[in-house]
Amino acid sequence: MKVEEKIGGGGGGGGGGQAVNGSRRRRRRRNGEDYEEEEEEQMMRKRTGRRVQATSTAIQRLFVACRTAFKGPGTVPLPPDVHVLRLLLDKMRPEDVGLSSDILFFKSRNAVNGTPRITYSTVYKCNNFSMCIFFLPPTAVIPLHNHPGMTVFSKLLVGSMHIKSYDWVDPVISTDSKGSSQLRLAKLVVDSDFTAPCNTCILYPTSGGNMHTFRAITPCAVLDVLGPPYSTEDGRDCTYYHDHPYTSDSGIGYALAKEFLKAGDNVIVCSRSGERVELAVQQLRQEFGEQHVWGTVCDVREGKDVKALVAFASDNLNYIDIWINNAGSNAYNYKPLAETSDDVLMEIVTTNTLGLMICCREAINMMLNQPRGGHIFNIDGAGSDGRPTPRFAAYGATKRSVVHLTKSLQPGMVTTDLLMSGATTKQAKFFINILAEPPDVVAEYLVPCIRSIPSSQSMKPTYIRFLTGLKAYSQIFSRLAFGARRNRYLIED
């Protein structure tokens, strides 16, 4: 993507800032209403090839409303202020910012050879907010990007474009605005074509990721109001993302549920995210029917949630033969321990250790009251065997505790080793390509093993390992000798 400012933008200082180019203001009165007008230069500047000046006070009203809404750096506008800004932008016309659909740029419908060049013009910028107009030729794309801690108003003035916006399903754990290279689940908020004139699109900072992407269908112009604007010094960097289609069969939990359903069992799934639960249940019911799968929201870190899960299971299934503790988190963190925040550590420890303890406690109490008893299976991971995990030390430490807790609760408990130990990025790609398997492959192996234990009526502790040492060594040898599995999931070079 090529984005450039056609005419240089200015920036004010703190507080209310100043108009670009330092132009003087003077008070005027029209139709009984006071307003500010630039004397030497209007707030809208001339653009090369588009020498049309704003003649309306609409942009001034928007400017004054922005000063009111964004009172200081980092201000989140109040709902009444958002409403005022929305109304002003909804009524904004191209002529209000010195544009016209008759301009040659907007008449062209031909696709641009090579990468379309996106240009923009800064209307106003200070520490509190910015106003900017982007000009996109046909097929031009502004990639998916975030707006950390920012409220964003986007008003399409001329042309047609496709807009997609997302919010994170799970809240951001770290306050660091820089994005993680790991996959995260996001929910689609907007995915529509817009043609001017149309209403304003708004992204809210409290919604989570507040990310969007623009794709021009025809030549178009869009007015963006950001408050506060991007600022590296204040930790508001712009991060770009790739969106990948998601189905709930992306995880081991869903894959296990599917295999149990194939075997004729009834299944309950849970997650702290209502969106995850709803999507998983919907897809599983489409394949296996409504009378075999149920779902509910449960945060394993909260005792009341897990108690509610037990009650939900009792109401729908009467008894539980198999309870699998699959919840785990590394808080999307792959930093050394010295660089890990308190919030990230709390997320990892409370989910992986406290959550496991609470779930085991409630599952044991439930099964003690069942005449037929039951079996609890704990899924461990990298670090559970005592090997170091330098890139995610906290995660490895919690997974080591899974083994200790499981042994302390014997007899009748099972752990499942699914992950490999940590390594450097280059080493990790090498081993992931050699050793990793899709969730459905793992589930196809594990579920028959798990189901065989209750049927055998054995209470002997059992450790089910998907990736055995012999299997790992044979796959490594095949890679070194024959180049097998190279670049299977990740490009290693």
Please, what are the domains in the chain? Answer: 2-227 (2.60.120.10), 248-482 (3.40.50.720)
Q: Kindly report the CA angle at 382 between 380 and 385, in degrees rounded to 5?
A: 80
Residue among 64, 1, 73 nearest 231 (CA) = 73
Closest residue by Cα to residue 179 from 333, 1, 328? 333
Helix and strand totals (H; E) in the chain: 12, 18
- Could you tell me what percent of the chain has a pLDDT over 70? 61
Closest CA to 19 of 94, 96, 153, 122: 122
Which is more confidently placed, 249 or 291?
291
Highest-confidence segment of 70-74, 420-424, 474-478: 70-74
Residues 141 and 189: their CA atoms lie apart, in Å, by: 19
Q: Where are the beta strands (DSSP E) in 151-261?
A: 151-158, 160-168, 186-195, 201-203, 211-216, 220-227
128-149 pLDDT, tens digit per residue, is: 999 999 999 999 999 999 998 8
Whether the per-residue pLDDT at 202 is higher than 50: the answer is: yes
- Quick one: CA torsion of 467, 392, 485, 255, rounded to 10 degrees? 60
Give the rounded percent of residues in the chain with a pLDDT score beyond 90: 27
Exposure class string for 3-12: b at 16+ Cβ within 10 A, else e? eeebeebbeb
What tokens does 62 get? 């928007």
- Among 6-20, 148-162, 176-190, 456-470, top mean pLDDT goes to 148-162
Q: Hunting for tokens 């307003």 — which residue is that?
A: 35
Crossing angle of the two packed helices 355-368 and 393-408, in degrees rounded to 10: 20
Mean pLDDT of 76-99: 92
Mean pLDDT within 388-408: 69
What are the residue numbers of the active site? 395
Alpha-carbon distance values, 76 to 205, 282, 326 (Å): 8, 36, 38
Residue 164: what pLDDT?
Answer: 92
Q: Are strands 211-216 and 375-379 parallel, antiparallel or unpaired?
A: unpaired
Token pair 């399903």 is found at 169
- pLDDT number for residue 34: 41
Dump pLDDT digits (tens) for 334-344. 677 888 788 88
> Cα angle vertex 382, ends 362, 490, to 5°?
125
